[in-house]
Structure 1
Amino acid sequence: MKTWLFSLGAGLYLTSGTFAFASAQLAPSTLKLDAAAVQQAGIVMAKAQLRPFSDELKAPGEVKIDAYTTVLVSPRIDSQVVARKTRLGDLVKAGEPLVTLSSVDVAETESALIMAEQDWQRIAALGPQAVSARRYNEAKVQRDQARAKLLAYGLSEGQIQAVLRGGSARADGSYALLSPVAGRITSDDFIVGERIQPGRPLFTIVDEDTVWVDAQLPPADAGQVSAGDAARILAHDTAFPGTVLQRSHQTNERTRTSLVRIKVNNARDALHPGELVDVRIAVAVGNQVLAVPSEAIVLLQNQPTVFVDQGQGQFEPAPVVTGETRQGWIEIKDGLKVGTPYVRDGAFTLKARLLRSLLGEE
């Protein structure tokens, strides 16, 4: 039996587990709700459990592109820009034409392929019995080499088939540079008519569904971080969840900090490369402790209280002694045992109903 005292108005007090008014009107300290009322109140139960208590390291960070989902698109052979098909900022699909290029080497190889294909078709129709094995194999190898050369230049199988269907009229050396992945074009530094050397990037295509955030931490703090640790990115009045990918094992000589890289889901396209953000990285501190979510605790007579599930829709307020608060969890030092069912969500609703019952409104 617990003794409670509440200042809810003149003459209201609680003694020996029973609420009473000065007029001797009694009300039970235990609330009882039917299933419909429990559902309507949005009550969610949980069992008190030990959990690792974590602290957060704070650091500045910068949003970077996810290099694992970023592609540079460049020609593989000396070419000239004929026509632009896409523009900066466009979303493109895999296989979509980005720019039309023209190359003398491509034109020569296309002509060689057309002739080799025609020669091969004649010999293949005659069959290996009608021609020498050497001539048969030479025709096939010449056709295959020309095809492989165009593939090496960056033409797709579909583009090669289009050349064969179009014949000599199609062998003009023009070809479309195709996007290898789906994403957004974040750079396209060239102009129409410009001659492009092999390997020069024409486009940067980024899948913006994920980004990296590079945080700079003092070496002592970075040493507490491990791959897989949870992190939060604070930007635009919003906290974005992330996961630590890696931490550098080298200290920057200029800033005397260590880099910690965090992967962040950016499906809403809220974060963009170059932005400065605040980083919070969760790190384990000490042993496991009994803790409940902060929303499970209410104040009754300035006493932190949780509602304990007594079964059959009965909820009893239980005073607790609290400790530290970290990431929305409050340590419980006394008043609640491991395994005890308590109200995780809906404690404020139960508090309101309890106060109304004391006032005779329920």
Structure 2
Amino acid sequence: MKKPIFQNLVRAARRCAVLGAALGASVALAAEDVSIPLTEQAIEAAGIETKPIEKSSGSDELVVPGTVTVPPQQLHMVAAPAAGLVETLLVSPDEEVKEGDAIATLKSSELIESQRAFLQAAADAALAGEKLRRDEQLYKERIIAERRLLVTRAEATQARALLDARAQQLALDGMSEQAIETLRKERRLGAALTVRAPVAGVILARHATVGDRIQASSPLVTIARLDPIWVNLQIPIGRSVGLDRADRVVMPSLGVEGKLIRIGRTVDPATQSVTAVAEFSPGKSAVRPGQAVQAILRLRGAGGTQWRVPADAVVHLREHDWIFVRADDGFRAVSVKLVAETPQFASVQAPLAATDRVATRGMLTLLAELAARDPNAK
């Protein structure tokens, strides 16, 4: 798979080496046809070979490498709600879980302290409520002043607020509403804590092991929803102009088809490529995060007459793409607009004829001649 994926990069590197040898200095060619007279003997000696061209159907393809990744909004990090000892981990990587499934059990002294504080707050709230009911009765009988009733009412409100806060802390510690209610009624403390999956998905990684002592908010597992899935495509900067014409993105080896949802605005300095993001709905296809894939971008026609030429026939010289067309007296260097490219063929727009043949090998001689005819060459 690696050879077709990186064939374009290899071809580009080869072209750059050829251009460097041919030019050796700064060259600024105009985007105009240039005649390169060569005899038959010179063409044969240079090893120049030609191939025919054909009219393009109007739709093009761009083959690029990519890496499968999970959309960030579909990643969920499950953390320990309280500090404690990891007693058991109940899931393994690549295992599917449903929302509410048990993931791990912890032994937590912090949980015991939170339960104790909750029971104390419940007792204080009950006492404050009873005091309020008594003072309301005394106020009705005009035994106490209104100011005392207002103070008692404020104390009861504060006690209920503290109880709610303690209950919320237990919920953050991983206790369900039913478990909190049971604690209130039975007043039995427990150090065991079950961590449950907040969403359905697949376990991508475990970040703790049995026996670890962890702090609150320490990561336990990562859960991901894998439908839809993203593929980060590496697009050579020279081929990124026509990406707005991408109709579909296909991964033939995996049997899935998706769409382009985002085109990057920055360039990787190491690879001189732009990252484009394609979205797929994998279904039952074996598309896995981290997987290296090859994708084909189906591009709509750019308008105008398009020609399909061998990919090796197109060379890039400074700011223009060129092909060398066979002529009666040798060759004609034609500036073309590169619309799309696959490892085998390139689609170009240029004033060509169906009977034309283009050079595909022996390009060094032609490039040297092209550079020598540039009026700005030194």
Please indicate, yes or no, whether the TM-score normalized by the shorter chain is above 0.5.
yes
Q: Is this contact kept in 1: 2:93–2:203, CA < 8 A? A: yes
Matched, 1:255 2:271: yes
Report the secondary structure of 2:300's partner residue: strand
C-alpha displacement of 1:180: 1.0
Question: Which moved further from structure 2: 189-198 or 123-132?
Answer: 123-132
| Counterpart selection for 2:165 from 124, 145, 152 | 145
Q: Is this contact kept in 1: 2:174–2:193, CA < 8 A? A: no
C-alpha displacement of 1:189: 3.2
Counterpart of 1:181?
199
CA distance in 1, matches of 2:178, 2:243: 49
Residue identity opposite 2:96 in structure 1: L
Matched, 1:74 2:92: no
| Counterpart selection for 2:115 from 76, 86, 110 | 110
| Counterpart selection for 1:133 from 153, 160, 185 | 153
CA distance in 2, matches of 1:209, 1:143: 41
Counterpart of 1:27?
none
Counterpart of 1:190?
208
Residue identity opposite 1:270 in structure 2: A
CA distance in 1, matches of 2:215, 2:257: 42
CA distance in 2, matches of 1:150, 1:262: 42
Cα 1:269–1:79, aligned 2, differ >3 Å: closer, same or farther?
Answer: farther
C-alpha displacement of 1:226: 3.8
Cα 1:225–1:161, aligned 2, differ >3 Å: closer, same or farther?
Answer: farther
C-alpha displacement of 1:187: 1.2
CA distance in 2, matches of 1:288, 1:150: 68
Residue identity opposite 1:163 in structure 2: L
C-alpha displacement of 1:76: 4.0
CA distance in 1, matches of 2:245, 2:289: 22
Q: Is this contact kept in 2: 1:218–1:258, CA < 8 A? A: yes
Cα 1:53–1:277, aligned 2, differ >3 Å: closer, same or farther?
Answer: same
Report the secondary structure of 1:235's partner residue: coil
Q: Is this contact kept in 2: 1:53–1:284, CA < 8 A? A: yes
- Alignment of structure 1 residues 221-300 onto 2, 5 Å: 221-226=239-244, 229-236=247-254, 238=255, 240-287=256-303
Matched, 1:87 2:92: yes
CA distance in 2, matches of 1:135, 1:227: 68
C-alpha displacement of 1:155: 4.0
Counterpart of 2:237?
219
CA distance in 2, matches of 1:288, 1:269: 38
Residue identity opposite 1:271 in structure 2: V
C-alpha RMSD of matched pairs (Å): 2.7
Greater fraction strand: 1
Q: Give aligned-pair identity as a percent.
A: 22
Superposed CA deviations along residues 210-245 of structure 1, whole A, max 9, x for unmatched, are 221111111122232249842112324x3x111112
CA distance in 1, matches of 2:129, 2:229: 53
C-alpha displacement of 1:268: 0.8
Report the secondary structure of 1:163's partner residue: helix
Report the secondary structure of 1:224's partner residue: helix
C-alpha displacement of 1:166: 4.2
Report the secondary structure of 1:106's partner residue: helix
- Alignment of structure 1 residues 28-107 onto 2, 5 Å: 53-107=58-112
Residue identity opposite 1:275 in structure 2: Q
Structure 1 stretches of 4+ with a deviation exceeding 3 A read 121-128, 151-159, 226-229
**Structure 2 unaligned spans of 5+:** 1-56, 138-148, 306-378
Residue identity opposite 2:259 in structure 1: T
CA distance in 1, matches of 2:126, 2:285: 52
Cα 1:144–1:220, aligned 2, differ >3 Å: closer, same or farther?
Answer: same
Report the secondary structure of 2:217's partner residue: coil
Superposed CA deviations along residues 40-86 of structure 1, whole A, max 9, x for unmatched, are xxxxxxxxxxxx95322110112122322121111243222122232
C-alpha displacement of 1:257: 0.9
Superposed CA deviations along residues 94-152 of structure 1, whole A, max 9, x for unmatched, are 12221111322221111111222233245435654267113312321221121122234
CA distance in 2, matches of 1:172, 1:280: 57
Counterpart of 1:302?
none
Q: Is this contact kept in 1: 2:228–2:282, CA < 8 A? A: yes
CA distance in 2, matches of 1:59, 1:172: 57
Work out the number of aligned pairs and report it: 234
Residue identity opposite 1:119 in structure 2: D
Report the secondary structure of 1:109's partner residue: helix
Cα 1:187–1:121, aligned 2, differ >3 Å: closer, same or farther?
Answer: same
TM-score scaled by length of structure 2: 0.56
RCO higher in 1 or 2 (8 Å CA, sep ≥ 6)? 2
Cα 1:160–1:233, aligned 2, differ >3 Å: closer, same or farther?
Answer: farther
Cα 1:267–1:161, aligned 2, differ >3 Å: closer, same or farther?
Answer: farther
